Amino acid sequence: MTRRPPETPSPALAPPPVGFWEAFRFWLKLGFISFGGPAGQIAIMHSELVERRRWISEKRFLHALNYCMVLPGPEAQQLATYIGWLMHRSWGGIVAGALFVLPSLFVLIGLSWLYVAFGNVPLVAGLFYGIKPAVTAIVVQAAHRIGSRALKNNVLWAIAAASFIAIFALNAPFPLIVLGAALLGYVGGRVAPATFKVGGGHGKVKDGYGPALIDDDTPTPAHARFRWAQLTRIGAIGLALWLVPLALLTMTFGWQGVFTQMGWFFSKAALLTFGGAYAVLPYVYQGAVDHYGWLTATQMIDGLALGETTPGPLIMVVTFVGFVGAYLKALTGPELPFLAGAFAATLVTWFTFLPSFVFILAGGPLVESTHGDIKFTAPLTAITAAVVGVIFNLALFFGYHVLWPTGISGHFDWPSALIALAATVALFRFKRNVIQVIAACAVVGLLVKTLLS
């Protein structure tokens, strides 16, 4: 008789209570295997938590996911935070959310150092030559994926087109585009609510997994019910955890210091991530490349490639931006560039993810009480439509720098064009995952560079 693994409960019985440290071990494991972007990460959590371990029912899982989808920030990381919080109160949420990010932070600090220290080595240069066109195809796929879900009528298509024109032709700031879309949605939700009602949850509920620890009819725990006192307390703690480090940076380096400006800039970026990491990347490149000059457009594309191939949320590309910007500027002196890079990487990660924890721990019950209210969801629907146009602009931005590396008056890089075309076919026609496409394109790029050198 085959013995069932201890973490797989009998399908006829509800699983036994899960202790804090058992959950800790799972969240740590998840932090190291959470590849594949938000869709892949959510799929992993569904397989482990709903199907295998049955810590939470599918209906409650999808309910929580829908809450996270209407918040700015990485929805997969917020979902982990939410489930951890639901199971083990605030510390459970903090541990689940932090362990979702920390492995990626350490991996990206190491990879970012290898990139800036050895990026000109022929092997590394050849690999990135193939990866850059693949990243362009991946961004195109992201625009298509979000657009096919979000643009359900002509009004939403018009918002997407207007946002593209605003950022491409008028160079409008991304926050202004988000604000404009939100106002359109706010008005539209009252004038024509059916237009802004994009229905459905994230998927259909399936039966047959057996009773769950947090089942459909399990009462909401006392700590997860909305209370003004709890909202105020956690909001105040979150504000202090943002304000005190920013004040210390200002006193130490001045308001115009690079570390201080990184903290301020990525605090703003964290509040604009409606629609996932691809939505905020245009804002990040506007600031990090065009405004502050922390890194070049080519380095930004390379950073996105590294973010795609490491575990954790894709928005962790900000770790690369912080590390490279501080390392190359040698902000802690020419003899300690790694220290500057590692400090900046940790700093921007803190300011980027802090709001996500506050939104879940303080606002989760509040969002639950307003979910499904068209007055609340219509602005978010309009923002998601605007995001599609912004992401398409990002694809053009990356494509331009990949296909005309020396500018439009320079040569057209036809090998990169062929690699980008092959990556697009692999993603759309053959449904290959991101890791497979990037790995294959990296090998092809290395071969092309070797043959052409």
For range 243-250, the mean pLDDT: 97
Residue 3's pLDDT is 44
Confidence at residue 242, expressed as pLDDT on a 0 to 100 scale: 97
Residue 384 has pLDDT above 60, yes or no: yes
Q: To which residue do tokens 């359900």 refer?
A: 152
Any idea of the CA torsion for 65, 277, 287, 336, to the nearest 10 degrees?
A: 100
> Model confidence over 263-316: pLDDT tens digits?
999 999 888 766 566 667 778 888 999 889 999 988 888 888 788 778 888 888
Do the beta carbons of residue 420 and residue 399 sit within 8 Å? yes
> In angstroms, what CA-CA distances link 433 with 130, 319, 436, 438?
16, 23, 6, 9
- Give the Cα separation of 51 and 57 in Å (integer): 9
The reported pLDDT for the residue numbered 369 is: 61
Q: Is the Cα torsion angle 441, 446, 450, 452 positive or negative in sign?
A: positive
Tens digit of each residue's pLDDT (9 = 90 or more) over 314-357 = 888 899 999 999 998 877 777 889 999 999 999 999 999 999 99
Amino acid 2: pLDDT: 45
Given a cut of 80, whether residue 35 has pLDDT beyond it is no
* pLDDT for position 373: 66
In this prediction, residue 388 has a pLDDT band, given cuts at 50, 70 and 90, of: confident
Q: What pLDDT does 272 receive?
A: 75
In this structure, of 109-113, 250-254, 391-395, the range with the lowest mean pLDDT score is 391-395
For the whole prediction, is pTM greater than 0.85?
A: no
Q: Say if residue 186 is exposed, middle or buried (CB neighbours under 10 Å; 0-12, 13-18, 19+).
A: middle
If you average pLDDT over residues 44-59, what whole number do you get? Answer: 85
- b/e string for 198-207 if b means 16 or more Cβ within 10 A? beeeeeeeee
The length of the chain in residues reads: 453
pLDDT of residue 42: 80
pLDDT digits (tens, 9 = 90+) for 97-151: 999 999 999 989 998 998 888 876 677 778 888 888 988 888 888 788 778 877 8
234 or 147, which is more confident? 234
405-424: pLDDT as tens digits: 887 888 899 999 999 999 99
Cβ-count burial of 123 within 10 angstroms (0-12 exposed, 13-18 middle, 19+ buried)? exposed
